[in-house]
Amino acid sequence: MSVMQATSFAFQTSCAWCNAVREAVMAPLTTFYKGILISRQLHANYRVAEQLAGRGDYRGMTVSEVANLINKQTI
Q: What is residue 52's predicted lDDT score, i.e. its pLDDT?
A: 96
What would the pLDDT profile of 26-63 be if each residue is shown by its tens digit?
Answer: 889 999 999 999 999 999 999 999 999 999 999 999 99
Q: What is residue 45's predicted lDDT score, i.e. its pLDDT?
A: 97
Is residue 18 predicted with pLDDT exceeding 90?
no
Higher confidence at residue 69 or residue 20?
69
Dihedral angle of Cα 8, 12, 17, 20, to the nearest 10 degrees: 170
Higher confidence at residue 35 or residue 21?
35
Which one-letter DSSP state was computed for residue 62? Answer: -
Which one-letter DSSP state was computed for residue 61? Answer: -
- Cβ within 8 Å of residue 70, ≥6 positions away: 45, 48, 49
Is residue 11 predicted with pLDDT exceeding 80?
no
Residue ranges covered by each domain of the chain: 3-74
